[in-house]
Structure 1
Amino acid sequence: MSEQELSQNPQSTDTQNDSAENADTTASELEALIAKIEGLENDVKQAKEAQARANAESYNAQRRMEQETDKAKKFALQKFAKELLDVVDNLERAIANITDDATKEGVELTYKSLLGVLEKNGVVAVGAVGDAFNPDVHEAVGVLPDTEKDVIGQVLQKGYTLNERTLRPAMVMVGA
């Protein structure tokens, strides 16, 4: 527009200025809204990540609890079974020293019955003559020179495991 046109139409200048101001205002509002949207998207992303971590943590805690419960069930008999081992030892000594056949037979039946119940509940005897020495389930208390190296030559006291965990190590003499 020429100056003459502008002087004749002062409203058009105002309109142009208003349009420019409106465009600036609209652009700044748009930038603010875009920034706000990006911020909200970031917040949503962080919330989703936090939820995923919380879910994973909850799952892991539940799994640990189940494992601990299974372990507790599996080894709940440990103390009781360990105390019964003294009874087993006493029955073995009684069998070795009884001379009356009828009494010996009764004690042997009781002994076998007790061992059967223990085995049914996961308690197994370890440490037989001729077995390879295993420090996890055997305790060497002496050496036998006439026996093959790392082989059990004599069992002084039987050992027992409960579900493959050592209840009492076998006291043995091993070859050198």
Structure 2
Amino acid sequence: MTAEHNQDAQDLGQEQAAEQTQATEPTEVSVEDLQAQITNLEESLKLEKARTANAVYEAQKSVERIQREAEKHKDTVLEKFAKELLDSVDNLERAIAAAGDDSAVVEGVKLTLKSLLTTLEKFGVVEADTQNGFNADLHQAVGIDPNAKANEIGTVLQKGYTLNGRLIRPAMVMVGA
């Protein structure tokens, strides 16, 4: 049994030696095979370039989309903040109107109002125009003013404001009939 085992091991060793000899011998490759291989590699390169270009395009589009969304979010937050501050502007204007006299306190309230309005203007919040007639895009008619001309604003009950050209609160007005 040992002899058979040794014989099998010798046969296996000879087979392995023959395979190694065949592997080290140069095999002939035809020019057509090489040209076909070059063609395949060129096609693979074109495909990978196209995939890379598509990936770059998609990445750029994603960045642009994220920037648009961030800008929109910033505008939304600024609009909400500005709307909240407009209540303070209204209250300061009411306080000035109710005080009537020119005391130091009233002067301080006027300066505070002016400072607040200047800050709002820095961020694009401006008062809606009420001097050039009624505009349904900027004004909300809440009544008829018998003393005003037709399609003219008679009384402004509450000022309206825009943020970077976009209405954030319409002016409540009374319009002539």
TM-score, normalised to structure 1, is 0.66
Q: Structure 2, unaligned stretches of length 5 or more? A: 1-27
Aligned to 1:108: 110
CA–CA distance in structure 1, aligned partners of residues 153 and 85 of structure 2: 25
Structure 1 contact 133–152 (Cα < 8 Å) conserved: no
Q: Which residue of 2 aligns with 1:52?
A: 53
Deviation at 1:132, TM superposition (A): 5.0
Q: Could you say which structure has the higher strand fraction?
A: 1
Structure 1: stretches of 5+ with no match in the other structure: 1-25
123, 126, 138: which one aligns with 1:124:
126
The 1:174–1:30 alpha-carbon spacing in structure 2 relative to 1, beyond 3 Å, is farther
Whether the 8 Å CA contact 1:126–1:159 is kept in 2: the answer is yes
Q: Which residue of 1 aligns with 2:155?
A: 154
What's the CA shift for 1:107? 2.3
| CA spacing shift, 1:35–1:175, aligned 2, 3 Å | farther
Q: What are the superposed Cα offsets for residues 79-132 of structure 1, whole Å, 9 maximum, x if unpaired?
A: 222111111111111222213321433322222122112112221111323345
Amino acid at match of 1:39: N
RMSD of Structure 2 on Structure 1 (CA): 3.0
% identical aligned pairs: 52
For 2:43 and 2:176, locate their aligned partners in 1 and report how far apart those are by CA, in whole Å: 71
Task: Tell me the matched-pair count.
Answer: 148
Q: Residue in 1 aligned with 2:141?
A: 140
CA distance in 2, matches of 1:39, 1:134: 67
Counterpart Cα distance in 2 of 1:38 and 1:148: 81
